[in-house]
Amino acid sequence: MKEYFKAERVSENVWWVGAIDWNVRNFHGYETSRGTTYNAFLIIDEKITLVDTVKAPFVSELLARVASVIDPSKIDIIISNHAEPDHSGGLPAVIAATQPEKVVASVTGVKTLRAYYGEELAVDAVKTGDTLSLGKGTLSFVDTKMLHWPDSMISYYDRDKVLFSQDALGMHLASSARWADQLDPYVLDYEARKYFANILNFQAPKVLALLDSLPSLGLDIGIIAPDHGPLWRKDLETIIGIYHRAAEQLPKRKALIAYATMWGATARCANALADGLRSQGVTVVVTDLNVSDRSAVMTEVGDAGIIAFGAPTMNNQMFPAMADVLTYVKGLKPKNKIGFAFGAYGWSGEGAKNIAAELDAMGAQQPVELRQVKYMPTTADLEAFFACGVELAKALG
């Protein structure tokens, strides 16, 4: 049975032919509560070109959208900007259906695609500065190694001034609207920050370098077309600004308090700490790991000046939910943080000490010594946690 999907026009010669994944809720450990899109683009020129494919289960949707514009067998060239399977999973099936003249990827992309889909896969390599004439327009390529995989690159179609930015400048957001200017600015800001924090934060310096180098590339960008989320045709500085601020990692006067609790003791300490911070004008986000996903925590870590983590001791170590979150956060390499470790224990008390060690491994300053309570906090304990909040706020400045 044939699928029925329509392509959507991006510019005079470019069409969106991707797929909408309304139901995905986990993207390799990142909670995607609003779903996502796998964006792919069809360029109608003398050489018909497909920029990226989609996740394997969505190939029929992509081919149906292409067929609404041209016969898929007329595709001459396929560009693979990124070999991660959410973009390349459909590549073998699309090649089989279209029989293109050539498939193009970065130098590392060629190796990665062959590792995934077989050494016999015919792929041509391009590097920064290379161009590919499509007839009336030209594609140019920029290697963006480690943004966020070794194979990553971006491509630019000069005829319609479209930057195919791959995973950069994107977000996980499924929508019936293709354009950012059709969506709620608050949702765009949050999902872009969440995407950066959870996908790109560990490569923040490289993102900053790329954004700062865009003017020197001499690209007259009219449209930004990422591989996930909405496209940008207006106010391009909005999405560039969100990414730039996130990549700078300059702390706000904000504190994240994330905690796990067994019998409520750590939660009570967290709330007293929050009150102390608030008393000094610090914006505070308090989150219980029992109800918050690790990616939601990392989103708040992104621009917080203070990151406080609290957990009870269990089996002579920190509570497992906290270990999960700290491993995840540490891998994303947040910078410029003041850290604080706290918790509750019954007899051995390793939990907060383990947390402090993880904060130290992240490079977070810890100007206020870790604090723990035994069994349940007393009034004096809660007053001490309030005082810790005041001291942390002073350290933040």
Catalytic residue among 38, 52, 61, 82: 82
Catalytic residue among 61, 160, 167, 358: 167
For 291, residues 6+ apart whose C-beta sits below 8 A from its C-beta are none
Three-class secondary structure of residue 107 per DSSP: helix
Catalytic residue among 12, 28, 119, 220: 28
| 383 is known as an active-site residue | no
| 244 is known as an active-site residue | no
Question: Strand 49-51 vs strand 41-43: parallel, antiparallel, or unpaired?
Answer: antiparallel
Give the DSSP H/E element, type plus range, for residue 388: helix 379-396
Nearest to 225 by CA among 174, 190, 179, 172: 179
Catalytic residue among 61, 143, 148, 157: 148
| 328 is known as an active-site residue | no
| 172 is known as an active-site residue | no
Catalytic residue among 52, 84, 227, 381: 84
Three-class secondary structure of residue 126 per DSSP: strand
| 82 is known as an active-site residue | yes
| 28 is known as an active-site residue | yes
If one counts every other C-beta atom within 10 angstroms of the C-beta of residue 271, the result is: 16
**CA angle at 386 for the pair 382 and 388, rounded to the nearest 5°:** 115
| 130 is known as an active-site residue | no
Report how far apart, in Å, the C-alpha atoms of 242 and of each of 38, 91, 146 are: 21, 31, 20
Give the DSSP H/E element, type plus range, for residue 15: strand 14-16
| 84 is known as an active-site residue | yes
Catalytic residue among 45, 52, 76, 86: 86
Calpha distance 341→334 (Å, rounded): 16
What backbone phi and psi angles, to 5 degrees, belong to 234?
Answer: -130, 155
Calpha distance 154→62 (Å, rounded): 21
Structure tokens at 278: 């608030």
> How many CA atoms lie within 13 Å of 255's alpha carbon, on the beta-carbon side?
33
Calpha distance 278→344 (Å, rounded): 22
Calpha distance 114→152 (Å, rounded): 15
**CA angle at 72 for the pair 71 and 76, rounded to the nearest 5°:** 110
Catalytic residue among 160, 228, 345, 381: 228
> How many CA atoms lie within 13 Å of 271's alpha carbon, on the beta-carbon side?
8
Catalytic residue among 30, 38, 157, 195: 195
What backbone phi and psi angles, to 5 degrees, belong to 156?
Answer: -135, 130
36 within 8 A of 172, measured Cβ to Cβ: yes
Nearest to 177 by CA among 233, 134, 127, 135: 233
| Catalytic site positions | 28, 82, 84, 86, 148, 167, 195, 228
